[in-house]
A = this chain, B = another copy of it.
Amino acid sequence: MADFTKVKVSDLEKFVTECFEKSGMSNEDSKITTDVLIESDKRGIASHGVARLKRYTDGIKNGIMIPDADYEIIKETPNTLVITGNDGLGQPVSYKTMKLVIEKAKKNNIGFATVRNSNHYGIAGYYSMMALQENLLGISTTNSFPLVVPTFGKDALLGTNPISVAAPTSKERPFVVDMATSTVPRGKLEVYDRRGKPIPEAWATDSKGHPTTDPGLVLKNVKEKLGGGLLPVGGVVEETGGHKGYGMAMIVEIFTGILSGGAFGPNVYGIPNTPANVCHFFGAINIEAFISLDEFTKSMDSIIRALLDSKKAEGQDRIYIHGEKEFILADQQQEYVKLFNRVIENIKEVGESLGVEANF
Contact = CB atoms under 8 A, between A and B. Distances in A.
Interface of A: 75, 77-80, 82, 108-110, 112, 114, 137, 149-155, 157, 165, 167, 175, 177, 179, 181, 183-184, 200, 202, 205, 208-210, 227, 233-236, 239-241, 243-248, 250-251, 253-254, 257-261, 264-266, 285, 287, 289-291, 295-296, 299-300, 303, 306-307, 310-316, 318-320, 322
User: Which of A151, A183, A306: most chain B Cβ within 10 A?
Assistant: A306
Contact of A153 (B78, B227, B319): B319
Given A80-B109, A112-B285, A303-B264, A175 B322 contact: no
A295 B261 contact: yes
A137 B251 CA distance: 11
Given A79-B289, A157-B307, 8 more contacts: A110-B110, A153-B319, A165-B251, A177-B250, A179-B244, A233-B241, A234-B245, A264-B303
A28 B78 CA distance: 36
B314 A208 contact: yes
A153 B234 contact: no
Contacts of A112: 110, 285
A157 B250 contact: no
Contacts of A149: 313
Nearest to A180: B244
B152 A312 contact: yes
A154 to B, nearest CB: 5
A241 B234 contact: yes
Contact of A291 (B78, B82, B167, B316): B82
A225 B175 CA distance: 27
Nearest to A291: B261
B259 A291 contact: yes
Contact of A150 (B239, B245, B310): B310
Given A110-B80, A251-B177, A152 B234 contact: no
B247 A322 contact: yes
Contacts of A210: 313-314
B179 A247 contact: yes
Nearest to A210: B314
A254 B166 CA distance: 10
A279 to B, nearest CB: 11
B258 A299 contact: yes
A311 B167 contact: no
A171 to B, nearest CB: 15
A260 B290 contact: yes
A200 B237 CA distance: 11
Given A291-B259, A313-B149, A175 B254 contact: yes
A151 B320 CA distance: 8
B311 A227 contact: yes
Contacts of A299: 257-258, 261, 264
